[in-house]
Structure 1
Amino acid sequence: MPRPRVHDLDEALDAAERLAVEGGPSSVTLRAVAAATEMSNGAIYHAFGSRGGLVGRAWLRAAHRFLDLQQASVERALERGPVDAVVAAADTPAVFAEKFPQSSRFLLTVRRDELLGSDVPEDVAAELSRLDSVLVALFIRLARALWGRKDGRAVEVIEACVVGLPTGLLLQARRKPDAAMRLRLETAVRAVLALDPPPPRKRHDTDTKGPS
């Protein structure tokens, strides 16, 4: 059987995203994706191997889109200063929703563990884990740029700004982020960063209370 073309694979990933967003995780099956595209069941199985491979690849594509946007925004903003870089990182969900609306809904509103199940290929699972480490590395980089620190408490402040505040202000609104929402987010992030982070934990606390 010939290998599916790249645009066929993107069509399959688009269908997986759409099915997950519109019908919930259980609606994403190889058969359903085949019915939604011009690919045969055999071609989809050949390309992805299993349902876990299909939804895992869809998740990875959406995650790479998000992280690429975030990294590019941070790089540009760092030229203005580290606070602006944290604001840019926090604003990425709104930018992502504008540029890739379906991927945004898929990545940011559907739980990854609900989608993937237990049949995720090892290479997909490894890549998913690596993406988590990429985000942590960004937190550390921003904490060092702001305060010259990379201990757990400093990183937690960055995580609150980049993940916690956008989740609370933008994602839970269940609608496309507008200018007012994004301004509220920026104001909240700048207010948090105006405070000094808590002092680093004592060395004997780090094993049980977070990274140092």
Structure 2
Amino acid sequence: MPRRRVHDLDHVLDTAERLVVELGAGGVTVRALAAAADVPNGTIYHGFGSLPALLARAWLRAADDFLRLQTELVEQALPAGAREAVVAAAGAPAVFAERRPAAARMLFTVRREHLLGPELPEADAEALLGLDARLVQVLVRLARLLWGRGDRHAVEVVTTCVVDLPTALFRRALTGPAADGAVVINADLRRRLTAAVHAVLDLPPTPLPTRKG
């Protein structure tokens, strides 16, 4: 079988996602990655500069793709109301896991600092800050749609729904063994997530302090 072209870098990143999940970030080597991706070792250095830079790029790519999907799901759900938009944002990991199982496993089960080292290139560091800012924008927007406020207390409630609950409910599916690397988040888990989100939203955020005249 002929080797893949040097510039087929997305395939290398796809392979890196899978190996990070299977071996852990510390277990991925240039030789193992090149062999699994069926490319020469030089592809990694020519395409990314170093293995740490490649692993960082894999995580950033997955995070960017996830946030794009989450935003799309929120937009699609908004006509049904703010609560349904929050449910859609919370359920985004399940949809992402169906489409990109290895990326989802890496993104939600591997600590990002294990892939984003202290010597992160400036461009990647800026990309990381941008991703964090985009997530905050989603959370603030949902809080304002729900309660007309985007303060810390309101955003914390939305964060519970969008980040904490899916992490808790989907973790076993994301970390457990599955055929062909697939992630199975069944309908029962999704219904429980929806119920949990609605239960949290039934309690409004801590009232803002009243200003004294």
Quote the residue 2:180 is aligned against.
none
* 1:180 aligns to 2:193 (yes or no): no
8 A contact 1:53–1:119 mirrored in 2 = no
| 1:11-22 paired onto structure 2 within 5 Å | 11-22=11-22
8 A contact 1:143–1:154 mirrored in 2 = yes
| 1:46-195 paired onto structure 2 within 5 Å | 46-173=46-173, 174-175=175-176, 176-195=184-203
Q: Which amino acid aligns with 2:26?
A: S
Q: Aligned to 2:204, what secondary structure does the other structure show?
A: coil
Flag as ranges the 4+ runs of structure 1 deviating above 3 A: 172-175
TM-score between the two structures when normalised by the length of structure 2: 0.87
1:122 is displaced (CA, Å) by: 1.4
- Cα deviations across residues 81-129 of structure 1 (Å, max 9, x unaligned)? 0000000000011111111111111111111111232332111121012
User: Alignment length, in residue pairs?
Assistant: 199
1:30 is displaced (CA, Å) by: 2.6
Unmatched 5+ residue regions in structure 1? 204-212
Quote the residue 2:34 is aligned against.
34
- Cα deviations across residues 127-184 of structure 1 (Å, max 9, x unaligned)? 0121011001100000011111011000000001000111111124544211001100
Q: Distance in 2 between matches of 1:132 and 1:114?
A: 17
Q: Distance in 1 between matches of 2:104 and 2:12?
A: 17
Q: Distance in 2 between matches of 1:201 and 1:137?
A: 23
8 A contact 2:44–2:51 mirrored in 1 = no
- Cα deviations across residues 35-69 of structure 1 (Å, max 9, x unaligned)? 22232222211111122210111011111221111
Instruction: State the identity as a percent.
Output: 55
8 A contact 1:82–1:142 mirrored in 2 = yes
Unmatched 5+ residue regions in structure 2? 177-183
Q: Distance in 2 between matches of 1:134 and 1:113?
A: 19
8 A contact 1:152–1:200 mirrored in 2 = no
Deviates more, 1:141-150 or 1:166-175: 166-175
Q: Distance in 2 between matches of 1:18 and 1:77?
A: 31
